[in-house]
Amino acid sequence: MSATHPPGQRGDSDGREGDRHARAVWSALAEPGDAVAGALVQACGASASLAWTADAVATGRVDWSRLEETAGELDGALRRRVETAVRRWAPRWRSLDPERDRAAASRCGARLVVPGDPAWPRGLDDLGALAPFALWVRGGPPTAARSVALVGARASTTYGERVTVDLAVELARRGWVVVSGGAYGIDAAAHRGALLGGGMTHVVLAGGVDRAYPVGNASLLEEVVRTGGSLVSEVPPGSTPSRGRFLQRNRLIAAVSHATVVVEAAWRSGAASTAHHAARLLRPVGAVPGPVTSAASAGCHRLLRDGVAVCVTDADEVAELAGTVGADLAPPPRPEVTRATDGLEPPARRVHDALSRRTARDVEQVAARAGATLAEARAMLGLLELEGLARRVAAGWVVTDGHE
Amino acid sequence: MSATHPPGQRGDSDGREGDRHARAVWSALAEPGDAVAGALVQACGASASLAWTADAVATGRVDWSRLEETAGELDGALRRRVETAVRRWAPRWRSLDPERDRAAASRCGARLVVPGDPAWPRGLDDLGALAPFALWVRGGPPTAARSVALVGARASTTYGERVTVDLAVELARRGWVVVSGGAYGIDAAAHRGALLGGGMTHVVLAGGVDRAYPVGNASLLEEVVRTGGSLVSEVPPGSTPSRGRFLQRNRLIAAVSHATVVVEAAWRSGAASTAHHAARLLRPVGAVPGPVTSAASAGCHRLLRDGVAVCVTDADEVAELAGTVGADLAPPPRPEVTRATDGLEPPARRVHDALSRRTARDVEQVAARAGATLAEARAMLGLLELEGLARRVAAGWVVTDGHE
């Protein structure tokens, strides 16, 4: 793109289309998570800030008065950050080609989604200056009334993958949309489980949505698109995923989801970074525990220890974590094998414990053994007899196995 | 014991020996955790409260003026509780036989330990009115400068037992005394691990210390005594363990330990009750996570979810939990496989990521790819070259595998 004809200066630069175009350019110009670019766009709008940048890149000097007219006065430190940012954008300016990006998007069936579009996930706005300028999207809109991110290690175990699939299947069946990063391991298991459960799933990619990355998940990603889910990226089609972009991508996963759950993660891991992003956004964070002997669970246990995450062990607990307080409460403690004596109050239980199956005991012996008064022992024996838990025999009382 | 010659009324009833004798009687008379007995002994002393009780049992009526002289005025509800308690103690009064208990203790090599004795674990005093009256002890003193309870399910898994043994071995090697309940499963693994680690371990029993309970652990319990550890109970030798006593025993495990760690526990379990006792005593509580697919870990996960316990995964973390703040901190994050690029700051890493192994790129291309200024790209390339992570070739720069 020629610097003398800055991409932000088009006839409709102040309208919706101008904003859309400028955001597409910003998505190619600034690296994901570039806070200076984000702040400029927030302060002056995408079009005006792009026009200003075009001028700065072309002339090699920054027009402070024009910038401060809308952005307000900038102190020395801020000015230095802006100057550095302009020098950072300059080398990339020359390789910008919005038409090429648009063509690439059209070839892979991707469209641009910008703030204000119905398909824009509102959760992204919580990122403030770190919000993406735009999203490149394949498939359905990357929004959801109820969404939860299931993320985790690429180097997952059979245990972790099985738990992830189970969680995703159950969540999908209850209408939750599962969000993840499309990577091998836990991410793939999350998407696969959501599809198995008949649900929708969104894949937030670090590179362009035209690149199935990793290649081994290509058919899974196509399946996501076919079933109404979406592939999402903040960089234009054709962009390569880099380590920095993987890390920045994690903030998007956290921001588009109502909660983030880490299923397996090494001590230091990208999934843990997603959890921290979610925590910073005040979104609920869950971690699935695993064997302490498994390195693949060390990151989850670390999140639990640090108080970043809540321990979650099944879909009920994930739904409670991610859901509306009160409306999505996990069911009460699961029923276990119940014993006939379960409902007994402590005094009755003590008297029950004082009885033998074979040796008959009289009331006084029972009272002494139970540490009960004679009256208590008598009353409790009557109660136990009613419940079918004790039986009167010739020589006193014996215990029985419940209703006989 | 004859009610007309109450056991508390001896010549030295006001001295150390009288107190010791009265506490031995109380330990046989009141069920563990009898708060009325505990409050009486706290208010009036063991001897005086026993003499008063002897009188009440003998005459069938309670002498309020004598009691309120030391205990202070009692309201109606309290009076009713005391009256009920006297009726509760009466049936057992007749079967009291301090001489028989003393003889049984002597036969099994047990001795009585009471508050004020050097062997009395000071942590028990935190139980207030629920503190035991005395401890019957076989082996060394049941005290420790640093002690931690490792408790858990009888129905343990191989995973849980292995983790318990590992924890106990490591803790013992560092001088921690391991406390547990002597049961099958996790308890036994804890004691065994402590012995394997060359350490000391205390077994807090629900029944008398003369009864190896469960029988299958008899040789383990003898080994504990032989190695300077102890068997401890608040009921006299000869007493049977009952369900109520098992539950009350758990408060002693929690109280004599600086922290309590649950390794495996079913959703509803005695180990969880020990954890709750510890939490009520404001002692640190830990839970070891496990597979969410294992019912034996459900109680641990519940403790984590409820915020009762902190997640602990190794001996370092248990020591940190139980130890002095600051002095016993777990070591910083364990080192993982380190990459040559680990120490790089974000700008250098972005430039590193922008390089290819085969395709040489010039500074401008690198800057554009990295989203860096030309100056940054140049500086970072120089830095990477110094670190041996990038190499200058004819057509520009390529990445290398670190020092070559």
Spell out which residues of chain A touch residue B354, defining contact as CB-CB under 8 Å: 242
Q: Is the pLDDT higher at A260 or at B339? A: A260
Spell out which residues of chain B touch residue A87, defining contact as CB-CB under 8 Å: 373-376
- % residues pLDDT > 70 (chain A): 91
In a domain, B10, yes or no: no
Regarding whether B217 and B131 lie in a shared domain, the answer is: yes
Among B162, B304, B334, B339, the strongest candidate for a mutation testing the A interface, having the largest count of A CBs within 10 A, is: B304
Spell out which residues of chain B touch residue A372, defining contact as CB-CB under 8 Å: 88, 91
CB contact under 8 A, A163 and B95: no
In a domain, B327, yes or no: no
- pLDDT single digits (tens) A190-229: 999 999 999 999 999 999 999 888 999 999 999 999 999 9
Regarding whether A175 and A222 lie in a shared domain, the answer is: yes
In a domain, A330, yes or no: no
Q: What is the mean pLDDT of residues A304-325?
A: 93
Regarding whether B204 and B161 lie in a shared domain, the answer is: yes
The contacts of residue B197 (CB under 8 Å, 6+ apart) are B168, B169, B170, B171, B172, B173
Q: How would residue B350 be classed by pLDDT, with cut points 50, 70 and 90?
A: confident
CATH code of the domain covering residue B393: 1.10.10
Regarding whether A299 and A228 lie in a shared domain, the answer is: yes
Q: Give how far B343 is from chain A: nearest CA, Å.
A: 14
Q: What is the mean pLDDT of residues A2-14?
A: 44
In a domain, A64, yes or no: yes
Among A264, A269, A311, the strongest candidate for a mutation testing the B interface, having the largest count of B CBs within 10 A, is: A311
> Is a pLDDT exceeding 60 seen at residue B11?
no
Q: How would residue A327 be classed by pLDDT, with cut points 50, 70 and 90?
A: low
Spell out which residues of chain A touch residue B396, defining contact as CB-CB under 8 Å: none
Q: How would residue A325 be classed by pLDDT, with cut points 50, 70 and 90?
A: low
Q: Give how far B226 is from chain A: nearest CA, Å.
A: 32
Torsions phi, psi for A56 (to 5 deg): -65, -40
Regarding whether A308 and A351 lie in a shared domain, the answer is: no
pLDDT at B379: 83
Other CB atoms within 10 Å distance of the CB of residue B69: 12
Q: How would residue A345 be classed by pLDDT, with cut points 50, 70 and 90?
A: confident
Torsions phi, psi for B396 (to 5 deg): 145, -130
> Is a pLDDT exceeding 80 seen at residue B370?
yes
Q: Which of A136-145, B65-74, B229-238 has the lowest mean pLDDT?
A: B65-74
| Buried b or exposed e, range A300-329, using 16+ CB within 10 angstroms | bbbbbbeebbbbbbbbbbbbbbbbeeeebe
Q: Which two tokens stand for residue B100?
A: 């028989």
Q: What is the mean pLDDT of residues B45-70?
A: 92
Preceding omega of B214 cis (within 30 degrees of 0): yes
- 249-268 in chain A: CB under 8 A from chain B: 266-268
Q: Would an 8 Å CB–CB cutoff place B97 in contact with chain A?
A: no
Q: Which of A204-213, B333-342, B384-393 has the lowest mean pLDDT?
A: B333-342
Q: How would residue B14 be classed by pLDDT, with cut points 50, 70 and 90?
A: low
CB contact under 8 A, B313 and A292: yes
Regarding whether A253 and A167 lie in a shared domain, the answer is: yes
Q: Would an 8 Å CB–CB cutoff place B305 in contact with chain A?
A: yes
Q: What is the mean pLDDT of residues A109-137?
A: 97
pLDDT at A131: 97
**Structural domain boundaries, residue B351:** 346-399
In a domain, A184, yes or no: yes
Q: Give how far A242 is from chain B: nearest CA, Å.
A: 6
Q: Give how far B301 is from chain A: nearest CA, Å.
A: 7
Regarding whether B244 and B193 lie in a shared domain, the answer is: yes
> Is a pLDDT exceeding 60 seen at residue A10?
no
Regarding whether A135 and A72 lie in a shared domain, the answer is: no
Regarding whether B378 and B244 lie in a shared domain, the answer is: no
> Is a pLDDT exceeding 60 seen at residue A27?
yes
pLDDT at A111: 97
Regarding whether B139 and B58 lie in a shared domain, the answer is: no
Regarding whether A195 and A267 lie in a shared domain, the answer is: yes
In a domain, B350, yes or no: yes
CATH code of the domain covering residue B247: 3.40.50.450
CB contact under 8 A, A91 and B364: yes
Stated as kind and residue range, the H or E segment containing A65 is: helix A64-71
Q: Would an 8 Å CB–CB cutoff place A206 in contact with chain B?
A: no
Q: Would an 8 Å CB–CB cutoff place B317 in contact with chain A?
A: yes
- pLDDT single digits (tens) B84-142: 999 999 999 988 999 999 999 999 999 999 999 999 999 999 999 999 999 999 999 99
Q: Give how far B350 is from chain A: nearest CA, Å.
A: 6
Q: For A30, which residue in chain B has the nearest alpha carbon?
A: B371
Upper half-sphere CA count for residue A75 (Cβ side, 13 Å): 1
- pLDDT single digits (tens) A41-88: 999 999 999 999 999 999 988 899 998 888 888 888 889 999 999 999
- % residues pLDDT > 90 (chain A): 69
Q: For B335, which residue in chain A has the nearest alpha carbon?
A: A267
Q: Would an 8 Å CB–CB cutoff place B311 in contact with chain A?
A: yes
As a whole number of angstroms, the distance between CA B350 and CA B368 comes to 11
pLDDT at B332: 58
Regarding whether B56 and B148 lie in a shared domain, the answer is: no
In a domain, A312, yes or no: yes
Among A262, A313, A321, the strongest candidate for a mutation testing the B interface, having the largest count of B CBs within 10 A, is: A313
pLDDT at A332: 58
In a domain, B8, yes or no: no
Q: What is the mean pLDDT of residues B181-203?
A: 97
Q: Would an 8 Å CB–CB cutoff place B161 in contact with chain A?
A: no
Kindly report the length of chain A: 404
* Number of cross-chain residue pairs from A and B with Cβ atoms under 8 Å apart: 154
Q: Would an 8 Å CB–CB cutoff place A244 in contact with chain B?
A: yes
Spell out which residues of chain B touch residue A312, defining contact as CB-CB under 8 Å: 305
Instruction: Report the domain count for chain B.
Output: 3
SS3 labels along chain B: CCCCCCCCCCCCCCCHHHHHHHHHHHHHHCCCCCHHHHHHHHHHCHHHHHHHHHHHHHHCCCCHHHHHHHHCCCCHHHHHHHHHHHHHHHHHHCCCCHHHHHHHHHHHCEEEECCCCCCCCHHHHHHHHHCCCCEEEEECCCCCCCEEEEECCCCCCHHHHHHHHHHHHHHHHCCCEEEECCCCCHHHHHHHHHHHCCCCEEEECCCCCCCCCCHHHHHHHHHHHHCCCEEEECCCCCCCCCHHHHHHHHHHHHHHCCEEEECCCCCCCHHHHHHHHHHHCCCCEEECCCCCCCHHHHHHHHHHHCCCCEECCCHHHHHHHHCCCCCCCCCCCCCCCCCCCCCCCHHHHHHHHCCCCCCCECHHHHHHHHCCCHHHHHHHHHHHHHCCCEEEECCEEEECCCCC
Q: How would residue B402 be classed by pLDDT, with cut points 50, 70 and 90?
A: low
DSSP code for A361:
B
- pLDDT single digits (tens) B246-273: 999 999 999 999 999 999 999 988 899 9
> Is a pLDDT exceeding 60 seen at residue B13?
no
pLDDT at B15: 86
Q: Give how far B366 is from chain A: nearest CA, Å.
A: 9
Q: What is the mean pLDDT of residues B10-20?
A: 71
Q: Would an 8 Å CB–CB cutoff place B2 in contact with chain A?
A: no
Of B163, B289, B373, the CB nearest to A290: B289
CB contact under 8 A, A353 and B243: yes
Q: Would an 8 Å CB–CB cutoff place A359 in contact with chain B?
A: no
Q: How would residue A404 be classed by pLDDT, with cut points 50, 70 and 90?
A: very low
